[in-house]
Amino acid sequence: MKVLVIGSGGREHAIVRGLLADPSVSAVVAAPGNPGIAELATCEPLADVCDAPAVVALAARHTVDLVVVGPEAPLVAGVGDALRAAGHAVFGPDAAAARIEGSKSFAKAVMAAAGVPTSLAHVCTTEDEVAAALDSFGAPHVVKDDGLAAGKGVVVTDSRSEALAHARACLSRPGGQVVVEDYLDGPEVSVFCVSDGTTVRALAPAQDFKRIGDGDEGPNTGGMGAYSPLPWAPLHFAEWVVEHVAQPTIDELHRMGCPFVGALYCGLALTSRGPRVVEFNARFGDPDGQASLARLLTPLGTLLYAAATGRLDDFDDLRNRPESAVVVVVSADGYPAAARSGDPIAGLEEAAEVPGAWVLHAGTRVDSDGVLRSSGGRVLDVVALGATLDAARAAAYEAISRIRLDGSHHRRDIALAAARGEVLVPGGAA
């Protein structure tokens, strides 16, 4: 099977790596890919991943059997629709189903119809409505831009004026709308559920670290690290999520006439009142997806092709490695406020020599002088498998110590509390 992968980040590098580990995959083409992916697969230029005719033309030119769309923007823009209309098997939902990520208010409506546990929320179109909603819930305040906002749409703050200012900025855009939500306490879990529109299979749960600094200090980022498994999570949590969250959501989307084919990212908080959905996304997480994918033993190409062609029922539950996976993101100087690009990167071969570790490229480029340089906020994902979380952490941090990138930053506490048994679940992990 020949596969085209759309995207250029660490998630897509992990997907390409996983596909090529599947004997049924003979070749992978990535567009636009990145220098790390180019070591494994053919990379094709693609100026805009949302350019549906260009993506369709690439799929036709390479006569691929499957297209995997990694990021959310092309899915929300309808790249999946265009590929399907041209007769391709696609892993990634059509635009109508991708609204589960593209519109927070749509996601809330689907959850309400499907009986999925989530936070209370008000959809607001004026500042007065926002003020009333903030006051009815109290602090901490949660304000979400209704639409896609490249990771900058959600503000969680104790400051009412900061919450209002974020809402004002979102509302000032044409058609601006925000969702004000009740704050969900408790540790967060990401569960990636593969679906063919009817059947659902879950990958191993992972936890993402969204803040820039150790101890969850500082501003939000796209994600600074992740790990799997979660020793503190309830037993059989992935099965619980399929039964109570993913399957009802997939069924509701099907009933609405927009079947969801792809990865339904269920982001949950384990609150004192039980698990609640914080958000849905229409794709694998980044970098939390890399942790779950690192543990997946079920052949990835076969799995994604089965989902794309309505045959997921052929699979029993997915198989995962017993080992732990830890992912640590190496970010550029100035990230997330103003990431500096263009710094040379060295030491990747030495890092990859650490047993159990490998390096995914997230924001890199090779310049005309042949030098690998940073090109974006999150530059590298260092992934490691180990017999325990401690062993995986040790391998990941040993690999990072061998990487040289001026001004780079990484968190030192990825999976640390879990390894020490210090993650607290309000009300206990029942």
Site for ligand GLY, rule CB under 6 A: 208, 222-223, 281, 285-286, 288
Q: How far apart are CA 348 and CA 14, in angstroms?
A: 16
Q: Which is nearer to ligand GLY, 281 or 408 (CB)?
A: 281
3-state SS assignment for residue 59: helix
Q: Which is nearer to ligand GLY, 281 or 364 (CB)?
A: 281
Instruction: Select from 63, 181, 162, 192 the least CA-distant residue to 120.
Output: 181
The CB-based long-range contact list for 166-169 (8 Å cut-off, 24+ gap) reads 167/124, 167/127, 167/130, 167/143, 168/127
Q: Which is nearer to ligand GLY, 181 or 208 (CB)?
A: 208
Q: Which residue is nearest to ligand GLY (CB)?
A: 223
Q: Which is nearer to ligand GLY, 199 or 331 (CB)?
A: 331
Q: Which is nearer to ligand GLY, 94 or 288 (CB)?
A: 288
Instruction: Select from 182, 276, 275 the least CA-distant residue to 233.
Output: 275
Instruction: Select from 230, 153, 222, 213 the least CA-distant residue to 381.
Output: 222
**Rounded least distance, CB 367 to ligand GLY, Å:** 28
Residue 43: its H or E element: strand 42-43
**Rounded least distance, CB 33 to ligand GLY, Å:** 19
Q: How far apart are CA 192 and CA 238, in angstroms?
A: 9
Q: Which is nearer to ligand GLY, 72 or 94 (CB)?
A: 72
Q: Tokens for 6, please give them.
A: 């759309």
Q: Which is nearer to ligand GLY, 110 or 266 (CB)?
A: 266
Instruction: Select from 28, 27, 31, 23 the least CA-distant residue to 56.
Output: 31
Location of structure tokens 């209370």: 120
**Rounded least distance, CB 190 to ligand GLY, Å:** 7
**Rounded least distance, CB 42 to ligand GLY, Å:** 26
Q: How far apart are CA 213 and CA 370, in angstroms?
A: 33
**Rounded least distance, CB 289 to ligand GLY, Å:** 7
Is residue 99 a contact partner of residue 257, using CB atoms and an 8 Å limit? Answer: no
**Rounded least distance, CB 148 to ligand GLY, Å:** 11
**Rounded least distance, CB 11 to ligand GLY, Å:** 8
